[in-house]
Amino acid sequence: MRINDKLGARLKELGVELRPTVPLSEKTSLGIGGTTDQLLLREFETIPDVMHLLADENIPHRFLGGGTNVLIADGELPYVVLHLPTSQPGMRVEGNAAYVDAAADLGGMVTFCAKRDLGGMEGLIGVPGSVGGALRMNAGAYGTQIGSYVREVELYRAATGKLETLRGDDIRFDYRHTSFAPDDVMLRVKLELPQKPFKDILAIIKVCNEKRRASQPLNQKSAGCIFKNPPGGSAGRMIDELGLKGHRVGDAMVSDRHANFFVNVANASGADMLRLIDEVRERVRATYGIELENEVIFWKN
């Protein structure tokens, strides 16, 4: 979708930088995604005005965070993509509390807190993506989920058109799911973390990193796990048992290292990846009678 010059000029007055016709394949860890205009915001405070402007002009939009858990369709996309201010996302610690901007890198946040002797989130160290994306999905690994530490979230609520602050107790954090509305935009979070000496945190981080390196295809283009684990089961194990490691549709392939990671081995299209997802889901359903649910977010056109 293209922003016309008149709207571009009004957005500029709000401090928004317009980058025309950006291939989103360059903005996602899967290396997949069509093209559209990209809008870079400078201040959280301008979000309501920017949203009103886009609504007045009937311009559909989506916010893209780290791009590590999303599968975007091919071709010219029927929406523009917005990015939060990312030049220097804020992070600060006060006692047991950490205040972090949603655009900050998740691993960077874990390390920042660790250096100030705040732990608890060691398991999240190798999870790629932004703090905002991790909040929305309640990212988790090795027994840690970010939601356990959330005390406050500042967000833009599309439903009210306002910036709001929610208390942690008023947000539901489930397995890879939260009670945020799909069009809520995460802006900042306050976390409460247990005190732990840096060297103890580092020791746990090392173990998690080793486990991850041994079992996941970290040097290939992927979006992490494609499916959620069904209750009491493991999507990766089932797909592996079906002998589907290495199974391909075009350049989209079931990783031969971890069967719940689907990788883009060269120039996979969104359509290839989707077909692979559907084929694998169908094979699991036919054999195990279980309908796997996507963990990766799919941005349809």
Q: Which two tokens stand for residue 116?
A: 């100030």
Taking each helix axis as running N to C, give the angle between helix 198-215 and helix 106-115, from 0 to 180 degrees, rounded to the nearest 10: 150
User: CA angle, corner 188, sides to 183 and 191, nearest 5?
Assistant: 120
Question: Minimum distance from CB of 198 to ligand EPU (Å)?
Answer: 23
240 sits near ligand EPU (criterion: CB under 6 A): yes
Tokens 């009670």 belong to which residue? Answer: 179
Q: Which two tokens stand for residue 220?
A: 């290939």
Closest-CA residue to 235 (of 155, 175, 186, 192): 175
Gap between the Cα atoms of 36 and 283, Å rounded: 34
- In this complex, which beta carbon is closest to ligand EPU, that of residue 89 or of residue 224? 224
The one among 195, 237, 265, 287 contacting ligand EPU by CB under 6 A: 237
228 sits near ligand EPU (criterion: CB under 6 A): yes
- In this complex, which beta carbon is closest to ligand EPU, that of residue 16 or of residue 239? 239
Question: Minimum distance from CB of 156 to ligand EPU (Å)?
Answer: 25
129 sits near ligand EPU (criterion: CB under 6 A): no
Residue 152 φ then ψ, to 5°? -155, 145
Of residues 140-169, those binding ligand EPU (CB under 6 A): 141-142
Question: Minimum distance from CB of 77 to ligand EPU (Å)?
Answer: 24
Q: Are 246 and 254 a contacting pair, CB within 8 Å? A: yes
- In this complex, which beta carbon is closest to ligand EPU, that of residue 41 or of residue 223? 223
234 sits near ligand EPU (criterion: CB under 6 A): yes
Interface residue list for ligand EPU (CB under 6 A): 141-142, 215, 224-225, 228-229, 234, 236-237, 240, 258-260, 295
